[in-house]
Structure 1
Amino acid sequence: MEHNKYDIIGDIHGHADALIELLEKLGYSETETGYSHPERKVIFLGDFIDRGEHLAQHRKLLGVVMKMVKNGHAKAIMGNHEFNALAYHTEVNGEPLRPHTDKNTKQHRAFLNEYDNDPEAKAEVLDFFYTLPMWLDLGALRVVHACWHSELIEQLEHKINGARLTRELVVEASTKGTELYHAVETLLKGVEVSLPKGVTFLDKSGHPRTDVRVQWWNRAASKLGEIALPLGVDIGEAAAQPVRGNIPYYPEDSVPCFVGHYWLKGTPAPQAHNVACLDYSVAASEGDRQLVAYRFSGEKNLSKDNYVSVRPA
């Protein structure tokens, strides 16, 4: 029977000190083989890197994470920032798959600051990213970085060994128009709906967006404004539009699913009885920032009482 006592941890974005504080709060102790617990294991939801330029803790963080995964104290999946890093550092015909624009380089700056002058260490980390599956279905629970889309996952299971990307698959997944591009965008970044012509909003980095992500766990919503992400986003006249029918809602009778990615605020609580987002904006430059874990012990109905969090200094 699959072990099912897990502490699932959301997006960390280079905050090593906060992670260590959270692990110790959860009862993990540092050993020769990494942080471990006598009865429990960690599942990391990806987005270990980027942001947090002022910290210079990426090496420290990845040292903790990689050691725990290597020695069986943790499992981990890929986030969109790990995928972006693989594309940024992969060249095809002399050109990087992820263009080295000012925007992309700025987003990746915290990682580059610590690794660009050490190609051996950088290669080791990128090799680790290639070992990360895009999702895990562990029987009693599921994890994916942004969206559990059963149809896409079923398609990819026939194509991708162990849900892991190879260099060739990263090339394909970086090529707009391919099925793999669409699948990776959905699983690692979420489901998007196009806004009416002329309607835009600014994302957390100040970039204008013409598509809005939606809450694929919210079956009760009837209007786009009720399902749009981030919560409270102003999408103008589009808010009154009816929700379209192509959103891959998570079935109410499915096992609990944990995601990161969405930069939530406020008091951690489940999004549905069987869906929980654990990204509470630890890397935000201001406001209520938390690194959050959920203590899972096999329950079918998730509870706000099982959250544990720390606030970075």
Structure 2
Amino acid sequence: MLRSYSQALLQGRISMEHSGYDIIGDIHGHAGALIELLEILGYRATASGYAHPQRKVIFLGDFIDRGEQLVEHRKLLSIVMAMVDNGHAKAIMGNHEFNALAYHTEVDGKPLRPHTDKNTKQHQAFLNEYSKSDPEKARVLNFFSSLPLWLDLGPLRAVHACWDQSSVNFLAARAVGARLTPELLLQASCQGSEAFNAVETLLKGCEVDLPDGVSFLDKDGNRRAAVRVQWWSRHAKALGEIALPAGVDIGLAANLPLPAAIPHYPSAHKPCFIGHYWLRGEPAPLADNVACLDYSVAGNGKLVAYRFDGEQLLQKDKFVFVA
């Protein structure tokens, strides 16, 4: 199933003389879906990777994990890395790339991300294809470490989960080109530190602690005592209106007023593109200047792109997807 924009593109009714960005959401090892989407968008395989004569891709992170049945991580990462290395694409870090770096980085003989059953299960699809002694794994992890935590380009912004200016400012003073240093990776792996909170917000979203005794099960069956929120919402009055996933039961906490600490993204700011949130249904902007491109490809959903040509009011008919 294809959106009307991609159908028109295939039929040659849309001019591609101008340049622009094609922004692609979470892929989670689905190389076949990525190739299909790139070809719909007009990218073709070349000696330097998939390329378009006028456009570039922006990948929003979460290239890995999930999809154990596919065994497509190597294929996917070879496509993405070639595109980025040869200037056909830009990419930012997702929480799964951050988790992988912490999982495979040891300090004093201990991994920064503990190898618990839960953490290993979440990372198993990657581990299936990259053994401990595989030299290619080091190249992939080096690629992950090169990914910026955000992009702030002339016409747009991109971050994996949440544009929080205070977190961006904190990390910008400590990162190198918005990239994690080894020291910052260590600090961001220490729960409760300022670096941890800032990276968590950008890569996993803004969370609000629930009252004592209130919790819920997330999509992976883990019990949560904090709820992520729709930081892009501008008209909500109570916590239940912005709690994620939509419709989650947080009991009487749904009537609580909105915490003051929730990031605010003004309507006058440049468009911001995010992934991360496992949305369902028909892709559409979350706000006039915010779009999520994660529509659950790893859960039998869609792999989604947005064809951005500089517009400051995002449009539903600019979404392209394969399902």
Give the TM bin, normalised by the shorter chain: over 0.9
Q: Distance in 1 between matches of 2:122 and 2:112?
A: 15
Would the aligned equivalents of 2:174 and 2:184 in 1 still touch at CA under 8 Å? no
Return the alpha-carbon distance in structure 1 between the equivalents of residues 201 and 19 of structure 2: 27
Residue 166 (structure 1) shift: 2.0
Match of 1:245 in 2: 260
Q: Once the two structures are aligned, what percentage of the paired residues are identical?
A: 68
- TM-score, normalisation: structure 1: 0.96
Match of 2:79 among 64, 68, 79: 64
- Equivalent AA in structure 1 for residue 145 of structure 2: Y
Contact kept, 8 Å, 1:4 with 1:298, in 2: the verdict is: no
Find out whether 1:303 has 2:318 as its counterpart: no
Confirm or deny that 1:231 pairs with 2:246: yes
- Contact map agreement 1:4 1:296 (CA 8 A) in 2: no
The AA in structure 2 aligned to 1:301 is: L
Give the alignment's Cα RMSD to 1 decimal: 1.1
Deviation at 1:118, TM superposition (A): 4.5
Instruction: Check if 1:175 corresponds to 2:187.
Output: no
The answer on whether the counterparts of 2:22 and 2:58 sit within 8 Å (CA) in structure 1 is: yes
The answer as to whether partners of 2:57 and 2:89 remain within 8 angstroms in 1 is yes
Alpha-carbon offset, residue 245 of structure 1: 1.4
Q: Give yes or no for the alignment of 1:38 onto 2:53.
A: yes
Matches within 5 A, 1:140-219: 140-219=155-234
**Is residue 20 of structure 1 aligned with residue 35 of structure 2?**
yes
Measured after TM superposition, the shift of residue 309 of structure 1 is 0.2
Give, as a single letter, the amino acid of the residue that structure 1 aligns with 2:312.
K
Counterpart CA distance in 1 for 2:140 and 2:179 is 15
Determine helix, strand or coil for the equivalent of 1:65: helix
Determine helix, strand or coil for the equivalent of 1:162.
Answer: coil
Provide the residue aligned with 2:270 in structure 1.
Answer: 255
- When residues 228 and 4 of structure 1 are mapped into structure 2, their CA distance, relative to the original with a 3 A threshold, is farther
1:201-256, Cα deviation, whole Å (9 max, x unpaired): 11110000000000110010001111011112121211121111111111110000
Asked if residue 220 in structure 1 is aligned to residue 235 in structure 2, the reply is yes
Counterpart residue type for residue 162 of structure 1: G
Q: Give the aligned residue type for 2:306.
A: Y
Q: CA deviation at 1:168?
A: 2.0
Judge conservation of contact 2:19–2:54 (CA < 8 Å) in 1: no
Pairwise mapping of residues 5-154 of structure 1 onto structure 2 (< 5 A)?
5-154=20-169
Q: Does 1:290 align with 2:290?
A: no
| Paired letter, 1:276 | A
Rounded to whole Å, the distance in 2 between the matches of 1:280 and 1:231 is 14
Q: Distance in 2 between matches of 1:114 and 1:155?
A: 36
Q: What's the offset of the Cα at 1:132?
A: 0.1
Cα distance change, pair 117–86 in 1 and its aligned pair in 2 (3 A): closer
Judge conservation of contact 1:133–1:163 (CA < 8 Å) in 2: yes
Unaligned runs of 5+ in 1: none
8 Å CA contact 2:37–2:321 kept in 1: the answer is yes
Alpha-carbon deviation of 1:117? 4.9
Listed one character per residue, the Cα deviations across residues 261-312 of structure 1 (whole Å, up to 9, x for unaligned) are 000000000000000010001111x5xx00000000000000010000001x
Post-superposition CA distance 1:182-218 (Å, at most 9, x none) = 1101000000001111111111100000000001100
Q: Which amino acid aligns with 2:23?
A: I
Partner SS for 2:69: coil
Contact kept, 8 Å, 1:4 with 1:140, in 2: the verdict is no
Asked if the contact 1:291–1:310 (Cα under 8 Å) also holds between the matched residues in 2, the reply is yes
Q: How many residues align?
A: 306
Runs of 4+ residues over 3 Å off in structure 1: none
Q: Which runs of 5+ in 2 are unaligned?
A: 1-17
CA distance in 1, matches of 2:317, 2:117: 42
